[in-house]
Structure 1
Amino acid sequence: MKLDGSIALFQYWNRLRAGRPAPKRSEIEPADIKTLLADTFILEKDARGEAVFRLAGTRLCATYGRELKGFTFASLWKEKDQRMVQRLAYGAFDAKSVVVIRYRGMSRAGRFIDFELIMLPLDGGFEHPRCLGVVSSFEKPFWLGADAIIESAIDTVRVIDPDREPFFLGNRPAIAVPPLAPSQIALTQGPSRGRRIRHLIVLEGGREN
Structure 2
Amino acid sequence: MKQNGSIDLFHYWNRLRDGRPAPRRTEVEPADIKTLLADTFILERDTRGEAVFRLAGTRLCATYGRELKGFSFPSLWREKDRRLLARLAYGVFHAKSVVVVVFEGRTRCGKSNPFELLLLPLEGGVESPRAIGIVTPGERPFWLGADPITDALIESVRVVDPDCEPMFLKNRPAVTVPPLAPSQKTLSESADSLRGGRRIRHLVVLPGGLDE
Structure-1-length-normalised TM-score: 0.79
Q: Deviations over 1:33-59 (max 9, x none)?
A: 000000000011100010000000000
Matches within 5 A, 1:128-147: 128-147=128-147
- Return 5+ residue gaps in structure 1 as ranges: 170-209
Q: How many residues align?
A: 169
Residue of structure 2 in register with 1:75 after alignment: 75
Distance 1:143 1:167 in 2: 35
Distance 2:138 2:88 in 1: 22
Residue of structure 2 in register with 1:29 after alignment: 29
Residue of structure 2 in register with 1:2 after alignment: 2
Larger radius of gyration: 2
Distance 1:146 1:126 in 2: 39
**1:21 CA drift (Å):** 0.2
Alignment partner of 1:95 is 2:95: yes
Give the AA of the match of 1:39: D
Identity score, percent: 69
Distance 1:50 1:63 in 2: 22
SS at structure 1 position matched to 2:59: helix
**1:166 CA drift (Å):** 1.8
- Shift of the 16–73 alpha-carbon distance from structure 1 to 2, 3 Å rule, reads same
Q: Deviations over 1:78-107 (max 9, x none)?
A: 111000000000010000000000011111
Distance 1:76 1:167 in 2: 30
Residue of structure 1 in register with 2:46 after alignment: 46
Alignment partner of 1:150 is 2:150: yes
| Alignment RMSD | 1.0
Contact 2:116 2:138 in 1 (8 A): yes
Q: Deviations over 1:148-173 (max 9, x none)?
A: 0011121101111111102359xxxx
- Shift of the 168–148 alpha-carbon distance from structure 1 to 2, 3 Å rule, reads same
Give the AA of the match of 2:26: S
Give the AA of the match of 1:71: F
Residue of structure 2 in register with 1:110 after alignment: 110
Give the AA of the match of 2:6: S
- Return 5+ residue gaps in structure 2 as ranges: 170-212
Contact 2:117 2:136 in 1 (8 A): yes
Moved over 4 A (4+): none
Residue of structure 1 in register with 2:175 after alignment: none
Q: Deviations over 1:115-161 (max 9, x none)?
A: 00000000000000110000001111000000000111211011111
Matches within 5 A, 1:172-187: none
**1:108 CA drift (Å):** 2.2
Q: Deviations over 1:59-87 (max 9, x none)?
A: 00000000000000011001110000000
